[in-house]
Structure 1
């Protein structure tokens, strides 16, 4: 298993000042998610969850996570401007088929390459732009967990436009706060890979915490998994910004930690955000969508479906 060691960069007074400014800006400009959640797939099918579905999770998350799922150990060209910040700190995964790295999958689609991660036997979570981008839906995909080039230790799972889901907020051009999606797979490959735990808490301060992001970058040998770990820079209710290096192809990667940063919310390898964006404008960091109540409601609905 790879040894994850903390690494910080670009530290100092300037970084701290920028962090405080960005945090304040993110807090004041974040767009609130609609109360009701409308999910859309590539065939035009829509499912609307009532406001009560996300309200219940929001209430539960006020003092604890919306889920206490723990990792289930089983036998053993992306469109976002993901960025390397300074010196490239990414390391190739040395044990891609071991848990939990085997629960990270190479997502190949007719629109390009992305990353996704397993949250159940048949739910692969990814970025919204990995299933719908530029007004177009993904119409075919192949998911290969734990891949290393031509090696597929768990096999792969393929499907089409009916299996890819995001929300009407993302389809209708809401900001990157709503950049999340999933694939309801046509196979139960998660029983072989296991899946991550996940958590969210409205009152949790994640700034300055050490996280990892791991996936399948397009600038490295094809189909190889790479990770980096570094500290978080700022947060809002919907987004998390961090110094972790990424590259195109890693959108949809899990932003994860060993145990929840607030004790007791999630045990083992646990995800709290979906990597979605690179450096943009005056913000010097990469960022991801936090697993907040509407995201959790969206994912939990599909976990519960046969």
Structure 2
């Protein structure tokens, strides 16, 4: 970024607390416990049925809340967004989702300030930190002032597979985003973080994060797995496509997604390791996410706990 600091990336939190053109890997992935899934070839995961074209229980009331058919969190800030399955739906369900990397992805139950509930997706980047879309943690312009602002709570269910919760759930104790989203509502800055009160990520493992060059991204396949609202409640679905195009702050791709997958990692495979390069947030003729550039990566490193 030639020494220019983009103030829109100024980090903010829901409680008081103390870019270059080269590839920069800021955080290495960690697979957690056993059961790591072997990576595939040609840049995408080895998922049966997918080809790339040319632990613990919890209260019944909480389980019931997770298993309702709730709307996508994006509805709160944007209304109805375009849905983003392009052509034939060839997404593949991940079941079970208890092996790595699938358990590093989490189903989110999000409760807004006014008690309205929504679904989203997040991914571990450290023992206590998940990255997600900014609109999963801070709602803007919902039309209901009592709903706007930091969400009331987020409950995280890693590796969820419908009614199976192999790692139980954990509650957020802190939320993060940047002023570009919370103050300006700029889609280029739609990213945030969830801080847990436990080290659940040490069990599930986490994805790495990297600031890759334009050339590297355009030569890469993007992988995405998350919890879409058009599939059975709480099921994880995977898809992959080549990166379509990039800008300084966005990555565009034809990966199939649906509402509920806001916050999913767009990640690439590098020598058998998984590195997130964008945070999925929007649908359209091509889907897009906030690019992990130098400043986003710096915030992720600072938020990691």
TM-score range, shorter chain: 0.7 to 0.9
Q: Deviations over 1:182-241 (max 9, x none)?
A: 001111100110111221134534236321111001111111100111122111011111
1:242 shift after superposition: 0.5
Alpha carbons of structure 1 residues 99 and 191: separation in structure 2 relative to 1, 3 Å = same
Q: Equivalent residues in 2 for 1:269-284 (5 A)?
A: 269-279=274-284, 284=285
Alpha carbons of structure 1 residues 158 and 70: separation in structure 2 relative to 1, 3 Å = closer
Cα distance in 2, alignment partners of residues 208 and 292 from structure 1:
17
1:94 shift after superposition: 2.8
Q: 1:78 maps to what in 2?
A: 72
Cα distance in 1, alignment partners of residues 154 and 239 from structure 2:
26
Task: Determine if the alignment matches structure 1 residue 39 to structure 2 residue 11.
Answer: yes
Flag structure 2 segments of 5+ consecutive residues without an equivalent. Answer: 36-70, 75-80, 113-117, 141-147
1:269 shift after superposition: 1.7
Q: Equivalent residues in 2 for 1:146-165 (5 A)?
A: 146-159=159-172, 163-165=174-176
Question: Secondary structure of 2:10's match?
Answer: strand
Alpha carbons of structure 1 residues 136 and 97: separation in structure 2 relative to 1, 3 Å = same
Cα distance in 1, alignment partners of residues 160 and 25 from structure 2:
31
Q: 2:51 maps to what in 1?
A: none
Aligned length: 248
Task: Determine if the alignment matches structure 1 residue 268 to structure 2 residue 273.
Answer: yes
Q: 1:113 maps to what in 2?
A: 119
Cα distance in 1, alignment partners of residues 27 and 263 from structure 2:
22
Greater Cα offset, 89-98 or 139-148 = 89-98
Q: Equivalent residues in 2 for 1:119-198 (5 A)?
A: 119-134=125-140, 135-159=148-172, 163-198=174-209
TM-score (norm 2): 0.75
Question: Secondary structure of 1:188's match?
Answer: coil
Cα distance in 2, alignment partners of residues 269 and 124 from structure 1:
15
Question: Secondary structure of 1:204's match?
Answer: helix
Q: 1:23 maps to what in 2?
A: none
Q: Equivalent residues in 2 for 1:10-49 (5 A)?
A: 34-35=6-7, 37-43=9-15, 45=16
Q: 1:104 maps to what in 2?
A: 105
Q: CA RMSD in A?
A: 2.1
Q: 2:47 maps to what in 1?
A: none
Q: 1:301 maps to what in 2?
A: 302
Conservation of the 8 A alpha-carbon contact between 1:197 and 1:269: yes
Question: Secondary structure of 1:74's match?
Answer: coil
Alpha carbons of structure 1 residues 98 and 298: separation in structure 2 relative to 1, 3 Å = same
Task: Determine if the alignment matches structure 1 residue 249 to structure 2 residue 260.
Answer: yes
